[in-house]
Structures are given as C-alpha cells and as structure tokens.
Amino acid sequence: MMTHIRILAEHAWTKYGVRSVVHPHAGGYIEFEDEIKKLMQDIPHEIAGLCLDTGHLYYSKMDPVQWLRDCANRLDYIHFKDINLDKYQQVMTECIRFFDACGKGVMCPIGQGIIDYKSINRLLKEIDYHGYITVEQERDPRNCDSSLRDVSQSFAYLKSIGF
C-alpha cells in the first residue's frame, strides 16, 4: 500500500501539479497510531502531505492535540469534527462499523463534544499553521435534515473561541 501511495502521489505531482495528502480515517486502511507512524516513516513529506482529522484521531483512541503537535511539520490539511462522549462510549462497546456509529450520532457539532478546541486553537497559533481546515459533520446521509443547523453551530462555536 505504501508503494502505491508513493507512486500515485508522485504521478499526481509530476503529471498534474497536484500535491497529495493522506487522510488517516476511522474505519479505513490507515487509522491507528502504528499505521500512521508507518505512513510517516515510508512516505516523506516531500512526496505526500498529511491530513489529520480531530474526530478520527479521537475515535481511534489518539489525542488530537498531541498528534497535531507531533505532526506539525507534516500537516498540509486538517479536518475538524467533534465526538459525543456518551455515544462514543456506547458504540465502543458494540461491534459496529464506523459509519454505523456515525448513524448513531457519535459525531456532534463542534463545541458540544469531548475534543478540546480551545487547546487546538492555541496549538495552531503556536505552530503557525496556515493550511486549510475543513469543518465536517459526519452522519448517516438519511439523517441530514439538521446538517445546516449543526454546521452553523460548529462555526459559531469556533468563532466564539477565536478561530
């Protein structure tokens, strides 16, 4: 897989001028700490950047603040999400897929969950991060009637803490 990532990233850059980033994802092939470390060992930042996702990191039992700090020199892109702690603790006792957990509401509007966005804000200023950030609300697509409300709440919260 690492060879394929390298080949695809090099091809995207040399043929199309597109810089690739790898996005570790809960329920994906690169999800856990050892897999992300292997990626960073095998794929230099010059070949492909890193897109860390606060929600996926927490979901996979990693501290988003620590990972953003430790990978500061590899970050090209960040995704923001939040996790409802009660739902998270519940789905961790079940044998279900990640997107089924999303359908049960494990992801919530930013500021209503467990992830410490005040610390993330301080950290991003400290490391002088100037890359892109995408605010996301993962859910079951059959339950999207509150998407605009939830994203609006996330943006309002982020703005209220200085983003």
- The predicted-structure confidence for 80-128, as pLDDT tens digits, reads as follows 999 999 999 999 999 899 889 998 999 999 999 999 999 999 999 999 9
Does the structure show a pLDDT above 80 at 139? no
For the chain, how many structural domains are there in total?
A: 1
Global model pTM greater than 0.75: yes
Tokens read off for 132? 């892109």
CB contact at 8 A, 9 and 48: yes
Beta strands in 32-110 (DSSP E): 49-53, 75-80, 82-83, 107-108
128 by Cβ neighbours in 10 Å (0-12 / 13-18 / 19+) ranks as exposed
pLDDT at position 15 is 97
Query: Residue 129 is part of a domain; what is its CATH number?
Result: 3.20.20.150
Position 137 confidence tier, pLDDT thresholds 50, 70, 90:
confident
DSSP type of residue 42: H
Residue 32's domain comprises 2-160
| Residue with tokens 């049960």, as numbered in its chain | 104
